[in-house]
Chain A
Amino acid sequence: MSLQHRARPGAPPTSRFPAAARRAGARPAALWPLALGGVLAVSVVLALTIGPADISPLQVARSAAERVTGAGTSPAGGDAAALSSVQEAILWQLRLPRLLTAAFVGAGLALSGAVMQALTRNPLADPYLLGLSSGASLGAVSVLLLGAAVVLPLAAFAGAMAALVLTLSLAAAAGSISPSRTVLAGLAVSSAASALTSFIIFFSAKGDSYREVLNWLLGSLAGSTWASVAITAVAFLLAGIPILLTGGLLDGFSFGDNAAGALGLNVPVLRWVLLAGTAVLTGAMVSVSGSIGFVGLILPHAVRLLTGARHRVLLPAVALAGAVFLVWADTLARTVFEPREIPVGIVTALIGAPVFAVLLWRRKARS
């Protein structure tokens, strides 16, 4: 058959090629993920030395070296630098799992936000706004009260997925899924889910046990364990990594579903698979940390300013930036009022709301 490629007519003169090559070589945006990866590594190491307990960076380094090499090494530092078993536990059972959980939760939420913004072509889309977080909370609170903490991540995922399906079918009920309709539908779903969650808490919390649930609804990384790290890491591996690998396809959604279809993308399938991936991420993260707001909304916008909107670069950068952001937000949450601490959701909202206002203002100023 004769369906074959033709050379395009009017091939450009070769004199244009150097310009093209220059562009291909000089893509500074592509370096952002590398740079942010470095920042994340440094952040985790630094944050490991920060906390209410008085443990010096030197002691942290020594203890880390001992863990890596296997046993107590040189006594050169003297007893002053040696850590007690409680201090060891503070470092390796409290701080490190909490830092890693913060990193995975931040990465997962920011990535979810970026993917949802692309798929719904809606700059306001994020797990919080489309009701996924509230749905996940509802699922989690329901099983918490049934006392089945083991299935918490699954229940949270089920809640997130149900909220997502509900939001999108509500948005589609009146025709095609437009951005504004999606946000309105998300608002309706998240309000309903939040109301149900509040109802459950209001009716079942005894004595002062509401405190724990409240902390959890505001979003908190306190109490993160290695189990939390495992849950968030597995979710990121299962859903986050595939999304990162195929993220380039999201560029195809930039000019509408029809344009995406004409580019050879299976639009409905791709949309649902990717959205289900964000539901897995959001569900797992919410089941560990509660619903932390603004990470999914703000980070994609902020990182786009640095890297541009190409998803192949944007997605890894946004995941890493989300991780860095939440590591530091949580470090603030656990140290600013030490020995007290505040839910990290308060910190992200306090930082996120003004940043969002600035982004809106910039957008308005540009157009």
Chain B
Amino acid sequence: MSAAGTAAAAGELRTHGLAYSAGQRLILSGIECALPGSAVTGLLGPNGAGKSSLLRLIAAVLKPTSGQVSLAGTDLRSLKRKERAQHLAFVDQQVDADVPLSVADAVLVGRLPYRPAYAPETIRDELIVQRSLAQVGLEGFGARRLDSLSGGERQRVHIARALAQQTGVLLLDEPTNHLDLNAQNGVLDLLRGLARGGSTVVAALHDINLTAAYCDHVIVLAGGRVVASGETASTLTPGLIRSVYGVPAVRLDNPLTGRPVFAFGGTDQP
């Protein structure tokens, strides 16, 4: 199948009445949303809104209390774990792996869903690792140790690992955390490039302006519910930001990119 047909082939990722509670505490409820292909969707919301939980539910590492997640009409939980891992890749919030893996070995982990537990990796796996590293701009980094890289480089390695998983859906939790400005833009540019290639990219983000600058779609969560979703330009409004974050905002146009940018007031301003 050609790359041109990818959007259709990826199928639509949807959540249906998704609810999740940890113990007595309700984290998410009634999550009904569509995550379009060939696009970057940003998950926004204040701390504790349930962004990470929603991502983990979609990645099926968390089990929903009720509801389901479907890809092209198929309930993801009805798939075997390995099958599912061939359709969805997940990059968690940066855990500082204190493991002296080389960059190539870290990416090779993404090939686990494609072979039995006892089988060694193949030349094909190795080639895919190289290709994934090239895609994230880390060609030649394979032999470096993971813990010798900068934060931005390390985040790219994690994305390369997700790419090696060869999935149509890429889920990322706070991929720009702890990165400097340049690295933040680099990672998001990379994600946009992948979306343009046909992937469904969903990223939980903290920064409203990064979301406004890079995401095609946005889903805004507050108190465990979806309060708004849709195209970024039309959905992300000063009124929404004020109601969700309690912060007054004005929307400007970024003269350098032409994308919207928000300026915020203090919480005590009228």
Contacts and interface: CB of A to CB of B under 8 A. Distances in A.
A6 B131 CA distance: 15
A262 B126 contact: no
Given A8-B166, A10-B135, A11-B131, A246 B109 contact: no
B127 A17 contact: yes
Nearest to B55: A258
A71 interface: no
A23 B130 contact: yes
Interface of A: 1-12, 16-17, 19-21, 23-24, 118, 121, 123, 245-246, 248-249, 251-252, 254-259, 261-267, 304-305, 308-310, 312, 366-367
B98 A259 contact: no
Contacts of A249: 112, 117
B9 to A, nearest CB: 5
Interface stretch (B67-75, B224-232, B233-241, B257-265): B67-75
A259 B131 contact: no
Given A7-B1, A254-B101, A264 B126 contact: no
A12 B130 contact: yes
A261 B112 contact: no
Nearest to A179: B98
Given A262-B59, A263-B85, A16 B139 contact: yes
A310 B129 CA distance: 15
Given A4-B1, A20-B130, A245-B117, A308 B101 contact: yes
B122 to A, nearest CB: 9
B88 A262 contact: yes
A21 B129 CA distance: 11
B64 to A, nearest CB: 14
B82 A245 contact: no
Contacts of A305: 100
Interface residues of B, number: 75
A9 B73 contact: no
Interface in B157-176: 158, 161, 163, 165-166, 168, 171
Interface stretch (B43-51, B89-97, B180-188, B207-215): B89-97
A264 B117 contact: no
Contacts of A11: 131
A261 B61 contact: yes
Interface in B36-63: 56, 59-61
A12 B135 contact: yes
A258 B90 contact: yes
> What are the 5 closest A-B residue pairs judged by CB atoms, nearest first?
A9-B197, A264-B85, A262-B90, A261-B61, A20-B130
A17 B8 CA distance: 30
B95 A262 contact: no
A310 to B, nearest CB: 5
B120 interface: yes
Given A254-B109, A256-B92, 15 more contacts: A6-B168, A16-B131, A16-B134, A20-B126, A23-B104, A248-B119, A252-B109, A252-B112, A254-B99, A256-B95, A258-B92, A259-B90, A261-B81, A308-B100, A308-B102
Nearest to A21: B123
B147 interface: yes
Given A9-B197, A259-B92, A254 B135 contact: no
6 contacts: A3-B71, A8-B197, A9-B3, A256-B92, A262-B92, A312-B121
B1 A6 contact: yes
Interface of B: 1-3, 6, 8-11, 56, 59-61, 71-74, 79-92, 95, 97-102, 104-106, 108-110, 112-113, 117-121, 123, 126-127, 129-131, 134-135, 139-140, 142-143, 147, 158, 161, 163, 165-166, 168, 171, 193-194, 197-199
A312 B131 contact: no
Nearest to B2: A7
B163 to A, nearest CB: 7
Nearest to B135: A10
A4 B161 CA distance: 20
B84 to A, nearest CB: 7
Contacts of A264: 80-86, 112-113
Nearest to B110: A263
Contacts of B99: 118, 121, 254, 309
Contacts of A262: 59-61, 85, 88-90, 92, 171
A264 B2 CA distance: 26
A24 B95 contact: no
A9 B97 CA distance: 29
Contact of A255 (B6, B59, B158): B158
Nearest to B109: A251
Nearest to B163: A8
Contact of A10 (B126, B142, B197): B197
A95 to B, nearest CB: 35
Nearest to A249: B117
A262 B72 CA distance: 19
A1 B129 CA distance: 28
Contact of A1 (B3, B74, B92, B194): B74
A9 B105 contact: no
A251 B112 CA distance: 9
B12 to A, nearest CB: 10
B142 A23 contact: yes
Nearest to B126: A24
Given A20-B126, A245-B117, A255-B158, A6 B163 contact: no
Which of B6, B9, B117, B163 has its CB near the most chain A CB atoms (within 10 A)?
B117
A292 to B, nearest CB: 26
Contact of A6 (B3, B118, B171): B3
A16 B171 CA distance: 28
